[in-house]
Amino acid sequence: MNGAASAVALETTAIQPMNVLEELVLARASAHNGATRADLIKDLSPLTSHRLSPSELRRSVDVTIGVLEESGFVAGKRGRYRLVTTGEAALSDLLGERKTPDNWGEMRDTRLVAHALGLAAEAQVLKALARPDGLRAYILQRHYSIGGKRALGTSRLRMALAVIALERAFGNKIKSGFDAGRGLSVKASRLLAGQLARRPRDFGTDTRLIGALAAEAISATQADPASLRLALLRQWVSARLGGAPPPQAPTGSVPEMKPANDPDAGEVEALTTKPRVHPDALRPAPPAASRPDLDGFVGAVRRVAEEVGEGWPGNRKALIVRVWRAINATYPDWGLSDIEFKGMLTEAHRTGHLVLGSADLKAKVDLEDVQASAIAYKNTVWHFVRV
């Protein structure tokens, strides 16, 4: 009778959701040699120091060890704690993987990172998370709700981000779809995606763009894999403890989390070179409600293009840069950058709401404005809005 009651109690305990410290202690104790109390405090401190003081962490570890021992998940011998069969099963269920690694560095950098991102520890997921580009892609796909279990490649991710920036330019009042970015050149889509940054700018390369956006998404100090993993896990701990993600910390103030045999760490492109800042970069983004929807935008462009257009009836057209200047002066509350404006024009043309045209002859007096008006799309360069 007592044995049956104990079995029922154990089963009841096993199905109870764990708190984040119980999950962390369980993961750390799964290492080949288990973990001492000192090991647990040392290795969990970088992940929890933004929320728990050293004394709070020590007390929490002591309490958590007691709970896991009482639940039958870990067993201690001579001050070293190891998972028992029930604990191994609980960890496997938690991570979605039948056999978990017995190395703490691998457990932390792949399995716990996947868990923090809400991903099952499948082979293709773990392989992607081990690469800098895959880690950044998964961070951005979660942050911007870009679907798919696979980590997107650099070009597809850039285009998806450009579409999100375009939707934001329209005040999130349209859903243009993934095809909207396909005709844009690499540079145009990168410039448009760069508008998602806190300080919009030309990042120069896709690696810099994606790295910077991934770091901003989780308030990481740098875009290297170790910094991203640490920031992601600290954000996850904060969310699980019921607090908001910590604000971005200045470089050097975050505890070091040494990478565990990360072969790709040295191959990551340095992100320290100062990107080119766009003139509109320092202008704060307006609330989405102030941005026009597609019909409102098209109506405003038509009115302005009629005013600044040139030519005769039936063949009137307005240089894009002149339309932009008039729009910027007439609707300052929209807070559009010229990059966003050109992206919105492209979407209006793509959907048949406006017609754009190319310059045939470039008079010297207009050459600078013609060049500033250029929008590259597929195999065409547009310069005019047709009235």
Instruction: Per-residue pLDDT tens, the chain, 387 aa: give them.
Output: 344 444 444 444 444 678 999 999 999 999 999 999 999 999 999 999 999 999 999 999 999 999 999 999 999 999 999 999 999 999 999 999 888 888 999 999 999 999 999 999 999 999 999 999 999 999 999 999 997 789 999 999 999 999 999 999 998 877 766 566 677 889 999 999 999 999 999 999 999 999 999 999 999 999 999 999 999 999 999 999 885 444 333 334 445 555 544 443 333 333 433 444 444 443 445 555 578 899 999 999 999 999 998 887 777 899 999 999 999 999 999 999 999 999 999 999 999 999 999 987 655 557 888 999 999 888 889 999 998
Classify residue 136: in a domain, yes or no.
yes
The pTM of this model reads 0.80
Classify residue 120: in a domain, yes or no.
no
CATH of the domain at 87: 1.10.10.10
Q: pLDDT at position 283, please?
A: 44
Domain containing residue 45: 2-101
- Element spanning 5, H or E: helix 2-14
Same structural domain, 174 and 198: yes
Same structural domain, 143 and 271: yes
Same structural domain, 71 and 205: no
Same structural domain, 267 and 323: no
Same structural domain, 268 and 312: no
Same structural domain, 192 and 244: yes
Torsion of the alpha carbons at 288, 294, 297 and 302, rounded to the nearest 10: 180
Tracing tokens 């929807």 back to the chain, one arrives at 293
Classify residue 257: in a domain, yes or no.
no
Q: pLDDT at position 183, please?
A: 76
Tracing tokens 């145009």 back to the chain, one arrives at 188
Same structural domain, 135 and 270: yes
Tally the C-alpha atoms within 13 A of residue 345's C-alpha that lie toward its C-beta.
32
Which residue, of 60, 82, 101, is where some domain finishes?
Answer: 101
Classify residue 117: in a domain, yes or no.
no
Classify residue 115: in a domain, yes or no.
no
Q: Structurally, how many domains does the chain consist of? A: 3
Classify residue 340: in a domain, yes or no.
yes
Q: pLDDT at position 180, please?
A: 65
Q: pLDDT at position 164, please?
A: 93
Classify residue 296: in a domain, yes or no.
yes
Same structural domain, 146 and 239: yes
Here the tokens at position 185 are 């050149």
CATH of the domain at 310: 1.10.10
Here the tokens at position 54 are 């050293």
Q: pLDDT at position 2, please?
A: 45
Same structural domain, 93 and 217: no
Same structural domain, 135 and 97: no
Taking a C-beta distance cutoff of 8 angstroms, is the pair 26, 100 a contact? no
Same structural domain, 73 and 192: no
Which residue, of 86, 101, 116, is where some domain finishes?
Answer: 101
The DSSP secondary structure of 101-170, one letter per residue, reads -S-HHHIIIIIIHHHHTT----HHHHHHHTSHHHHHHHHHHHHTT---SSPPPHHHHHHHHHHHHHHHHT
Same structural domain, 267 and 144: yes
